[in-house]
Amino acid sequence: QVRLVMKAHSFIRENVPRVLSSVKDKAGTVHIPRISQYLYFLFAPTLIYRDNYPRNPMIRWGYVATKFAQVLGSLFYAYYIFVRLCIPQFRNSSQETFNLRGLVLCIFNSILPGVLILFLVFFAFLHCWLNAFAEMLRFADRMFYK
C-alpha cells in the first residue's frame, strides 16, 4: 500500500503542474497521460513517473525464469527455516506455564531465523521479483548498481 501511495503521489506531482500551467496559459491542448502509460508506471520498478522510460529491444525469458525460480527457492528456504528453527521453539510453550525465562529464551532463539527469513523476503521481492517484472516490461533503466 505504501508503494502504491508513493506512486500515486509521484504521478500527481508530475502531471498536476502541467495541467495547471496549460489552463493558466489558456492553451488549447492539455497533455494528459494515457491509461497505458499509467499502468506501465504501476508495474515498473520505479517510483518516479515519466511519460516514457528507456526500453530494451527484447525480453530475455531465460532471465525471467531464473528470477522466478529464485523467488520460489527463497520461499521454500524460508519455509524450511521456519519449520526447522522457529516452530520447535514455540511448540511446547503453549502447554507449559508462563515464565519469563522461557519467553526470553524463545525470543532469543528465534532472532537468527527471523533475520534470515527477513533477508530472504527482501532478496526475493526487491531483487528477484522486481527484476523479473522489469525484464518482462522491457524496463531498461536498471543500472543502479553500476
Domain boundary among 53, 70, 91: 53
- pLDDT the model gives residue 30: 76
- Whether residue 30 is found in the same domain as residue 97: no
- Whether residue 15 is found in the same domain as residue 83: no
pLDDT averaged over 10-residue windows placed end to end, the chain, 146 residues: 92 88 73 87 88 88 96 96 86 77 84 94 92 89 61
Q: 50 φ, ψ to 5°?
A: -135, 155
- Whether residue 132 is found in the same domain as residue 80: yes
- pLDDT the model gives residue 79: 94
Q: Please say whether the beta carbons of 54 and 115 come within 8 A.
A: no
- Whether residue 134 is found in the same domain as residue 63: yes
Beta-carbon contacts of residue 67 (< 8 Å; ≥ 6 apart): 128, 129, 131, 132, 135
- pLDDT the model gives residue 92: 72
What are 96-104's contacts with CB under 8 Å, separation 24+?
A: none
- Whether residue 138 is found in the same domain as residue 75: yes
Which domain covers residue 11, as residue numbers?
1-53
- Whether residue 78 is found in the same domain as residue 43: no
- Whether residue 48 is found in the same domain as residue 62: no
- Whether residue 60 is found in the same domain as residue 97: yes
- pLDDT the model gives residue 136: 92
> Could you tell me the three cell numbers for 26?
489558456
> Could you tell me the three cell numbers for 64?
525471467
- Whether residue 138 is found in the same domain as residue 66: yes
User: What's the rounded Cα separation, in Å, for the pair 12 and 38?
Assistant: 11
3-state secondary structure of 55: strand
Domain boundary among 53, 74, 92: 53
